[in-house]
Structure 1
Amino acid sequence: MSAALVLDFGGPVLLTPFELVADQPGTPAYELLHQRGPLATAEQPDQVWEDLQAGRITERAYWDARAEQWHESGGEEPDIRAMIAHLYDPPRPELVREHARALVRDAREAGRRIGILTNDLRAFHSEEWIERIEIVGDMDVVVDGSVEGHLKPDPRLYELLAERLGVSYAEMVFLDDQRTNIRGAEALGIASVWFDVTDPDTSYAEVRQLLGLPPDGAQHG
């Protein structure tokens, strides 16, 4: 039985920027991110996102490109942190997916260790912002590549997580919305689920099955 739940932060836990712009029509961020990334359509493909998913560029390179476009379209400085902060401030409960809260709660009650494995939490957000997102405090371990000096899918980041959680790779279940990070985890023998932003319920259900948890809501009415 898997002993640890490992979550990427942006996507599986936190709503993506692509979702947050939906209620901001007419803004530079909306023009830049609406129906882009994982929400791109066949009629309006996002080739840069496809390059990211294929491993041809890094996640930071993707967001650097988007930040430059944001600046050119009327945003503030061409800085990734400024662009993300524009969408995520102020910190608020609505930014966190309810199914993620339920998954963390049920994993905790079942005695599973829980960790966040992220590339850019502190690169995007201030310490004050992080402290106000309560689910971060529910984690046993947070490993942040922007602090550690290694980024997924570098094996060292997964190694640090395993060491701090006190589990083996074979005892982990990992959820991430970037296919290149999934490939990196699977190469180490970590059971992994790609988080589909367009179908979160299926992704969470697969993680629950791997962890031996009941379907969402079964324990809590």
Structure 2
Amino acid sequence: MELSLLCLPLFLLLASDVVLAGDPDITSDFILPSNATAVDGSFFTFTGLRKVVTAGPGKEFTVTKASLAEFPALNGQSVSLAVLSFPAGSVNAPHTHPRAAELLFLLKGKLEVGVVDTANKLFTQTLQPGDAFVFPKGLVHFQFCNSKNPALAISAFGSSNAGTVSLPKTVFTSGIDVAILAKSFKTDVATVEKIKAGLA
């Protein structure tokens, strides 16, 4: 009996970390930046995505974000958006979002998407316009426009700052010693150097 009473506070302490995961709740309707003096409708409006939805596809995959850095009204709101523009044959390389799940909605074109779970199982799907796909928080995922036509998608995140960790860039351009990378990928230094040069 005494042991179970002693374990209860420990259990509650461990469980509290689960409850506190994610963006912190705010105690006001919204948070004004320190340099703001007045609030009107423009504070709650972000126009930075207009150019993406009206422009044609570029030559490379692009992401245009409406996250906390670009849209200060999102501070404390636990939401953000990104518009993903895929020219034909382009890829959003394998990456993760450490602070949020991603809900992708395909507006036009076709996308092959995939997510890898913690058991190293790959789940893929080919999306058509009007389809949505969820990428769970922190899991490695990708999107590929395996088509002769461009694709356009909107991604919503459950954080104002979901973060993005691009696996190719993080592994090969962050300064990890080439000998460590060669050993880790069971290849030689010359191959690692060639990959690094391609990402530079």
Does TM, scored on the shorter chain, surpass 0.5? no
Identify the structure with the greater helix proportion: 1
Identify the structure with the greater strand proportion: 2
| TM-score, length-scaled by structure 2 | 0.24
- Larger RCO, structures 1/2 (Cα 8 Å, 6+ apart): 1
- Which of 1 and 2 has greater Rg? 2
| TM-score, length-scaled by structure 1 | 0.23
